[in-house]
Structures are given as structure tokens and as C-alpha cells.
Copies of this chain bind each other. A is one copy, B any other.
Amino acid sequence: MREYRLERYQTRTDLALEERERFEEDNVEISGVELEEDYNEKTDIRVTKVKITTEKGAKAMGKPKGIYITLEAPNMSVPDENYHREVSVELAKHLRLLLPKCDDEQSILVVGLGNSQITPDSLGPKVIDNLLITRHIVNEYGKIALGKEKIHKISGIIPGVMAQTGMEASEIVRGIVEETNPDVVIAIDALAARNTKRLSRTIQIANTGIHPGSGVGNHRNGLTEKSLGVPVIAIGVPTVVETSTIVNDTMENLIHAMEESSQLKSMGSTLRMFNATEKHELVRELIAPHLNGMFVTPKDMDETVKMLGFTISEALNIAFAVE
């Protein structure tokens, strides 16, 4: 289905994995992009590591250089007696590998991006709500108050969205970083996927921070090492698909239906013969303009985002527990 690649460019994805898949389908080797996969049968978690090592690779992928780790856990959004602790443990492991110097005492600011009032965008705020916050206790009473020899100072913020504050989340976070000087920032965000099958079952961790234009509500202007002056690790879970995904899916289903139908076979072939520019043009017309401000999300997202929030905050609590 190579022909439909170009329309797909229209469909935004925040997942490096989905970006990488484009090339995979074409059996194209991309220089500057390394791929590692690992599957744990017992936990049913698949871990994919995409390393973008060169500028060329970054350009091909449309994502900055860095490490992108994806955990796929098909049952993650299904209720479970121990709240999917196996996912929390696996996520904690990878997070610690990305955390610079995580065996030393660190000051870590966790940022819960997104709009707590929009169900699929409330993942970030939910994670902060359940996080073990320690910075103020260590500052006021010392480590002794928490009974530990070594301890990270954890702080957390829910910066809200522009419609609520009148400010970019990045302005708020930048101010707080300058004032409180954390060693590293971890930003949690709800993402948009291209494929509805990835919703709520995929967690992406990246050491590249967050770049303008990604995420559900686009509610920030970049949180990166460059803009904040400290390393930024981004953790995201896709909770919505863009409406354009559905337009694309419909198109692909239509072509497929045409090819199956004796009556329409020739039409299907005709569409396949379109060149890239023509297809671009076509899809642009198919996406009604009023759909741009909309998103598509499952009806039970309230339960899902609650569970995901707990699973991720537990992962952070585990990762931050220095021995």
C-alpha cells in the first residue's frame, strides 16, 4: 500500500514507533535510525527502542535525535488486581536508564501536561496527583524525616492549558525551573496516535523532551534541554487519534472495498495511479475544515486514563526510590 504513504503524512503521530513503521513497511533501511526489539512472554510487554543518531535520521523520522523507548502492553487498559504493577516496574527500569546520574541524589521536577478537564488529556495531571512529593520535606526536615540515607527531591507541577491560564505551559515551566533549579525535568503528556489500535496500550519514553506541535491539545511550546537548560525526559501515552486518522482509514477501506468489488475494480486501480501531489490534494479536500479542532477518543476513556495515571505514577515512585 505504498501509494498511500503520502496522505499519511497528513496524519499526525506522536509515536516514534509509528513513524518508524512507515519505513518498515517499505523495507527501507534508514541510516541514522537504529531499532531494537524485545518481547517478554511472561509479562506480555513488548519493548521497542528507536535510536535516532544522526541529523539525517532525525529528518527522515521528523523527530529530533535521541532515544525513544516504547512499551506495548495490550492489557494495560484492562482492570487488574494489582493495577498492572508489572508495567510500572518495566517502565521504572527504562526510566532509570534514561535518567542522568539517577544513583546520585537528584532534584527532579515532574510536569503533568494537559487539561485536567478534558478526559483523554488529563493523563499528566492524574500522574502528579498520585506522585510521592518529597522536595519540601527534605528541604524543611532533611532526609532523616523520610527515613532514608539517600533521597531524590521530587517536585511536581500541573501547569494547565492556555485557555485556563493565558500562558504557555512552557512559560510556566521555564519560570519554575529557573526558580527551583531541578537537575532534570520529566514531562508526562497524553499523545495522539495514528492507529486507533495503539490507544491506551502504548507508553513512550524519550530523552528528547517535548517539541512544539505534538500532544493532544498542543498545549505548549516545547520543553527541551535547549529551552529549559536541563535534560527533559518525556513520557507519553496515546489517548486520542486525530480525525484525519479516520479519514485516512476510510480512504484505505474504500480502496480495499473497491478492489474487492468487480463493479468498482477499475476505480480502485485508478485511485492507486494518482501521483503524490494529486493524493495530497484529494485528502486535503476530504478533511472537512471543522474537523481540525476535534479529536476521536474511546467512550470509556475515564476509566482508562485513571488506570494509566496510576500505573505511570507508580512507575515514577518506583524509579525514584533510591536504595
Contacts and interface: CB of A to CB of B under 8 A. Distances in A.
A257 to B, nearest CB: 5
Interface stretch (A29-37, A90-98, A292-300): A292-300
B196 A294 contact: yes
A254 B286 contact: yes
Interface string A284-323: 0111101101111111111100000000000001000000
Given A217-B299, A270-B267, A288-B196, A136 B156 contact: no
A135 B163 CA distance: 9
A248 to B, nearest CB: 9
A166 B285 contact: no
B253 A250 contact: no
Interface residues of A, number: 75
A301 B176 contact: no
Contacts of A102: none
A296 to B, nearest CB: 5
A1 interface: no
Given A166-B133, A197-B290, A302 B118 contact: yes
Given A196-B291, A196-B294, A286-B253, A166 B179 contact: no
Contacts of A168: 136
A247 interface: yes
A224 B210 CA distance: 34
Interface string A123-138: 0000010001111110
A274 B168 CA distance: 51
Contacts of A137: 166
A294 B179 CA distance: 31
A172 B179 contact: yes
B167 A253 contact: no
Nearest to A257: B285
24 contacts: A81-B317, A117-B119, A117-B302, A118-B119, A128-B164, A134-B166, A136-B163, A153-B166, A155-B165, A157-B160, A157-B172, A158-B160, A163-B303, A171-B176, A172-B175, A175-B180, A246-B246, A247-B250, A249-B288, A251-B254, A253-B285, A263-B270, A267-B271, A294-B298
